[in-house]
Each structure stands twice: as structure tokens, then as C-alpha cells.
Amino acid sequence: MITLSSAMVLAAGFGTRMRPLTEARPKPLLPLAGRTLLDHALDRIDEAGIGHVVVNAHWFPDLIDEVCAARPHPPTVLHEEPVQETGGGVRDALPLLGDDPFLVVNGDAFWLDGPASTIARLAARFDPETMDGLLLMVRAAQVDSDVGQGDFLLDPVGRVRRPKEKEVSPYVYGGIQILHPRLMRDSPEGPFSMNRHWNRAIADGRLFGTVHDGAWFHLSRPIDLRRAETALATGLVRAMF
């Protein structure tokens, strides 16, 4: 178990699959249930008591600045030019995140907690002695959207592995993770995906997953956003979880 003091929200992507909704604003600033996706993520981080937060921005960064500045506890915003992808974004924020394990949340991640806080569950599970990363996993069968063949499998103790050829994965990545700074060692210059470091951690047996026990929404296309809005408005999701 760890105490999280720093977090990062990845909000620099183009949101291409969400067009035309993202033609004039970043995907994290799309509204859902009366607030932007970014505000929802930052609300959860604030509720978890994490005091230092970094948000990266590239697509319409001034709009990200405005939303963050209006928050009760404004996070630090880093402008990326050019966009650095997920791994490069975290690499560039490392000087602001400290030497202890930190939380990373995708700017379009939207979830409802189960019986306990999802962030608190991840922090309670994270073991810095044996883990370089801990990912939130969502059961693919519970996602009301096309998630393809899934992302990962878990062994009995929660270690992550990639699917083999033609193997269907029961879990998708939920866009929330705790990382130890050592995971980012030997990061290359320029843009790169976090998959580069995940794959190394998998090979070392140091990437783990925890299965989400609440609701989660796959927000890739405009239809996904409409489905989520409808599900939240009816109250059926909260009744199920």
C-alpha cells in the first residue's frame, strides 16, 4: 500500500475518432453528465486527496488552460509541441511528479466507483517492491462498446501479459494506472507510446493489473458518448453497480 501525492492527466491527444466533436476542442473537454471529462477526472483525483497534479495539453491547449485555471486547486499544465504520445508525455512530466509512485489518468477516462474509491483500491494494491506499474482492468464483457479482442490477460496473482495470436483477452485497459518512476528509465527522446515500457515491465514480471469493481465507459466515438449520457441519465448504471 502506498500514499499517492502526485498525479498526471493525459489530455494532449487529438481525439480523432471522436470527430466531429473534437474539431474545435480537445476530447477531455467534451461534456458528460454536466461536466467535462477532464473535470470528472480531476474531481476524482481531488477526492483521493492527491495534492499535486499535472495535466499535459496540445490540441487547443488554451482551452485546457481555462478549465484548469477555474478549478479550486488548479493543476499545473504542460504544453506539448509537438505532441509526445502517452509515454513521452509522462517522461516530460517526471521532474514535476517526484520520486515516489504516481497516478496517471487518461483525460477521457470516465468511471463510477464500486464499493470503494477506485484510486484508493489501486493505491492499496500497489507494492513498490514488486511492481513497476499497476493498471486498472475492466472486464470486456461488461463494456457496452466494441473493444475488439481485448487488451490483456492476468495470471492468478495479477501479473499482466499480452494475448497470444488468435487469443481473446478478457480485459481492457481502463485508462488509470499507478507507475513507479523507475518504469520510465531509458526513455527515448521524442514521442513514444507507454506500451514500450509496459512491454519491458511485462517481460520482467513487474506489470500488474487490478480488475475494476464499478462501472466504466469506453468513450471512443460520438455514439459512445451518447450511450454513456443515456445510461447515466436513466440511473441504470448505478443500480447495477
CB 107 within 8 A of CB 27: yes
Instruction: Tell me the CA distances in angstroms from 98 to 5, 34, 48, 54, 95, one per residue in order.
Output: 9, 33, 18, 11, 6
| 207: phi then psi, degrees, rounded to nearest 5 | -110, 125
Report if residue 164 sits inside a domain: yes
Please indicate, yes or no, if residue 132 is contained in any of the structural domains: yes
Contact (Cβ atoms closer than 8 angstroms) between residue 84 and residue 92 = yes
**Structure confidence at residue 239 (pLDDT):** 42
Residues in the chain predicted with pLDDT less than 50, given as ranges, are 239-241
User: Does any domain span residue 121?
Assistant: yes
Question: In total, how many domains does the chain have?
Answer: 1
In a domain, 1, yes or no: no
Q: Is the distance from CB of 135 to CB of 173 less than 8 angstroms?
A: yes
Angle between helices 195-203 and 85-97 (to 10 degrees): 80
210 touches 116 (CB < 8 A): no
Residue 172 lies in a domain: yes
Residue 192 lies in a domain: yes
Burial of 63 (C-beta count, 10 Å sphere; 0-12/13-18/19+)? middle
pLDDT at position 241? 43
Please indicate, yes or no, if residue 178 is contained in any of the structural domains: yes
Residue 233 burial (10 A CB sphere; 0-12, 13-18, 19+): exposed
At 126 the pLDDT is 97
Beta bridge mates, 160: 154
pLDDT for 141 equals 78
Per-residue pLDDT reduced to its tens digit, 106-123: 999 999 999 999 999 999
**pLDDT for residue 75:** 97
Q: What is the CATH number for 77?
A: 3.90.550.10
Q: What is the pLDDT of residue 167?
A: 80
- Give the domain range for residue 205: 6-240
What is the pTM (predicted TM-score) of this model? Answer: 0.93
pLDDT given for residue 233 in this prediction: 86
Q: What is the pLDDT of residue 164?
A: 86
Residue with cell 470486456: 140
Per-residue confidence (pLDDT) for residue 236, from 0 to 100: 58
Instruction: Tell me the three-class secondary structure of 133-168, residue by residue.
Output: EEEEEEEHHHCCCCCCCCCEEECCCCEEECCCCCCC
Is 112 within the bounds of a domain?
A: yes
44, burial (CB in 10 Å: exposed 0-12, middle 13-18, buried 19+): buried
